[in-house]
Chains A and B, each alone.
Chain A
Amino acid sequence: QQQVKQSPQSLIVQKGGISIINCAYENTAFDYFPWYQQFPGKGPALLIAIRPDVSEKKEGRFTISFNKSAKQFSLHIMDSQPGDSATYFCAASLLTGGGNKLTFGTGTQLKVEL
């Protein structure tokens, strides 16, 4: 049961273009939505995150758009660069008895071409 659905699976963008990755969730109890970036041979690292009471968050070239009523959120990478080539995972956080548990999307492999 995939509680967080992510698309597309892979994406090729030209340098300077906009990369858009979409995610949708089902559980309305999720209370935090981070994006993680993973380079080959490395573990994922937090890129940017948003709380559900905010519709947009921007950090440099990276923006999260959040639509609570549609249960959807997306990552926009403006002016995409070859160094942005990586795998991106959306996630949703749920508070459990001992702490927060993340449910991840299936990942998007982004390639930015010159």
Chain B
Amino acid sequence: DVKVTQSSRYLVKRTGEKVFLECVQDMDHENMFWYRQDPGLGLRLIYFSYDVKMKEKGDIPEGYSVSREKKERFSLILESASTNQTSMYLCASTSPGGPTDTQYFGPGTRLTVL
């Protein structure tokens, strides 16, 4: 059974803190993604990685960075959290094989920045 796990379901941080969100997949997938989900805005891609140590900016990368040191793990970093980064963060992974790749999502981390 495929599995994408995220380190926390709920997280509360203060403005200015450095925040790490961790994602681990056990499917040996090459590609991993970070999205944020906001009501009325859907899922928006922050960053994705198609190989270890490789990353590409998504549609809303400002204020975020990522790290992928191992194939199974993809981290999202908020260097200095701000209140407008309060959101649901979703990690996904897929194995590239053409346009029909299925993205498998984790359960999400609901981050609140006070």
Chain A residues in the interface with B (C-beta under 8 A): 6, 9, 31-32, 34, 41-46, 49, 51, 89, 93, 95-107
Residues of B contacting A: mostly: strand
List the 9 closest A-B pairs by CB distance, nearest first: A98-B50, A43-B105, A32-B99, A106-B42, A99-B96, A104-B43, A99-B31, A104-B42, A46-B102
Q: Within the assembled complex, what's the spacing in Å between the Cα atoms of A41 and B90?
A: 11
Chain A residues, Cβ within 8 Å of B35: 104
Chain A residues, Cβ within 8 Å of B1: none
Residue in chain A with minimal CB distance to B41: A106
B side interface size, CB within 8 A: 33
> Which listed residue (B41, B49, B90, B98) contacts A44, Cβ 8 A?
B90
Q: Are A46 and B103 within 8 A (Cβ)?
A: yes
Chain B residues, Cβ within 8 Å of A95: 99
Q: For residue A64, give the distance in angstroms from its CB to the closest CB of chain B.
A: 14
Q: Are A100 and B92 within 8 A (Cβ)?
A: no
Q: Are A98 and B42 within 8 A (Cβ)?
A: no
